[in-house]
Structure 1
């Protein structure tokens, strides 16, 4: 089995754990449509990386609400992120512009959609974002300096902050680990939050992309108040009351339609 399929199964298990708190291991092969041996290997990986605890035929989340490795985030809500990325990229007008993009799994899809543009200069602290932008060798890509975070594959610290402050951006697009009408846009990492705050502060137009699972969540590091955001792009599974509250706060909130996919079902094709 490929690493991608394994990450999709691990993400499905984490999604189930987030709703149920604990799971009986014996039910996972049928739920995921794989053999018991495959499930045991997946759980060994999850236990080894500190994602779950196993005891007496059950598993519980060991790091509930913690930041996940980017490889696992890439396997979560893929279709929603693809559609969000396509819509967010369409908000960038077709003319010479300087755009800031952060790192993260949803920004990877924004970058793929922008990769065919020859009229853009994009400044990013995201290593995966930069790779996606360079696929067609058309976008002029500037990567900040800084210290690499292996968990998220982005650059943070004084070098990245100094680089970003030397630019004025026409648009900035950043991701989020939490979006709340009351608490604002938040991140797991304080250093990552500081980078996003600078990107948004240096931009004329400020866009946040976040799939529906991030709405209503509050993480430890605040980026900005929601009132500082011009546009939020999310998906159709977003909580309607939260969307209404964000719109009431003056945030242009756009939802892209995403059909329901059962947990453990076949993966979407991005």
Structure 2
């Protein structure tokens, strides 16, 4: 089995744990459609990374609602993130621009869509973001210094903040783990929130990207107030009431349509 399939199974188990609190190991092979040996290997990976605790045929999450490793986030809501990335890249004009981009799985899809743009200079603290931008070797990529966070493969701290404050950005594209009109844009990590906040403060056009699972959630670290961001791009599974509330406070909220068939083309509304 590929690492992607494994990560998809782990994401499913974590979602179930979030709903139920604990899982019976003996039921997992049938539920996931794999062998008992495969489930045991998956659980070993989850235990090694501190996601679960095993005892007496059961597994429980070590921290419910905790930040997932970025490798697992890449396998969640992939089609939504791909379409968000394509739309955001179309919003950035085709002319010489300086763009700030954070780390994160959804921003990573924006980076993939921008990788063929020779007119861009992108400053990022995201190691995965930088790698995606460098694939075609045409975007000028500047990576901040800082301290690496292994969960998200990004750089944080005073050195990263200092590097970002030395620029003025035409656009900033930043991910968020939680979005609500009351709490604003939030994420799991206080240090990550500080970096994202600086990117937005230094940008003329502020863009947040997040799949619909992030709407209505609140995480511990605040990135920005809801009205301080110009544009949110999410997907069509977002609550209509939540989208309306965000638009009411001045956030231009665009949803990319996720069709029933993967062969259909996405649209924006």
Per-residue CA deviations over 1:146-170 (Å, capped at 9, x if unaligned) read 1111111111111111110011111
Residue number in structure 1 paired with 2:266: none
Residue number in structure 2 paired with 1:230: 230
Q: C-alpha separation between the residues in 2 aligned to 1:198 and 1:35?
A: 47
**Higher mean Cα deviation, 26-35 or 81-90?**
26-35
Quick check: 1:137 aligned with 2:137? yes
Q: C-alpha separation between the residues in 1 aligned to 2:254 and 2:92?
A: 15
Q: C-alpha separation between the residues in 2 aligned to 1:31 and 1:161?
A: 45
Q: C-alpha separation between the residues in 2 aligned to 1:201 and 1:260?
A: 38
Per-residue CA deviations over 1:113-153 (Å, capped at 9, x if unaligned) read 00011111111110110010010011111111111111111
Question: Offset at 1:28?
Answer: 1.7
Residue number in structure 2 paired with 1:70: 70
Question: Offset at 1:13?
Answer: 1.0
Alignment of structure 1 residues 8-47 onto 2, 5 Å: 8-47=8-47
**Higher mean Cα deviation, 252-261 or 106-115?**
252-261
Q: C-alpha separation between the residues in 2 aligned to 1:260 and 1:64?
A: 31
**Higher mean Cα deviation, 184-193 or 41-50?**
41-50
Q: C-alpha separation between the residues in 2 aligned to 1:61 and 1:243?
A: 31
Question: Offset at 1:59?
Answer: 2.3
Residue number in structure 2 paired with 1:266: none
Q: C-alpha separation between the residues in 1 aligned to 2:109 and 2:96?
A: 21
Residue number in structure 2 paired with 1:267: none
Alignment of structure 1 residues 106-255 onto 2, 5 Å: 106-255=106-255
Local SS of the residue matching 1:123: strand
Q: 1:102 to 1:145 in 2, by over 3 A?
A: same
Question: Offset at 1:260?
Answer: 6.5
Per-residue CA deviations over 1:6-29 (Å, capped at 9, x if unaligned) read 111101111222223332322221
TM-score, normalised relative to structure 2:
0.93
Local SS of the residue matching 1:64: coil
Pairs aligned (count): 261
Q: C-alpha separation between the residues in 1 aligned to 2:101 and 2:214?
A: 19
Q: C-alpha separation between the residues in 1 aligned to 2:28 and 2:165?
A: 49
Local SS of the residue matching 2:138: coil
Q: C-alpha separation between the residues in 2 aligned to 1:124 and 1:107?
A: 10
Quick check: 1:58 aligned with 2:55? no
Question: Offset at 1:2?
Answer: 2.2
Give the number of the structure with larger relative contact order, counting CA–CA contacts within 8 Å between residues 6 or more apart. Answer: 1
**Higher mean Cα deviation, 1-10 or 205-214?**
1-10
* 4+ residue runs over 4 A deviation: none
Local SS of the residue matching 1:100: strand
Structure 1, unaligned runs of 5 or more: 262-270
Structure 2, unaligned runs of 5 or more: 262-269
Q: C-alpha separation between the residues in 1 aligned to 2:79 and 2:26?
A: 29
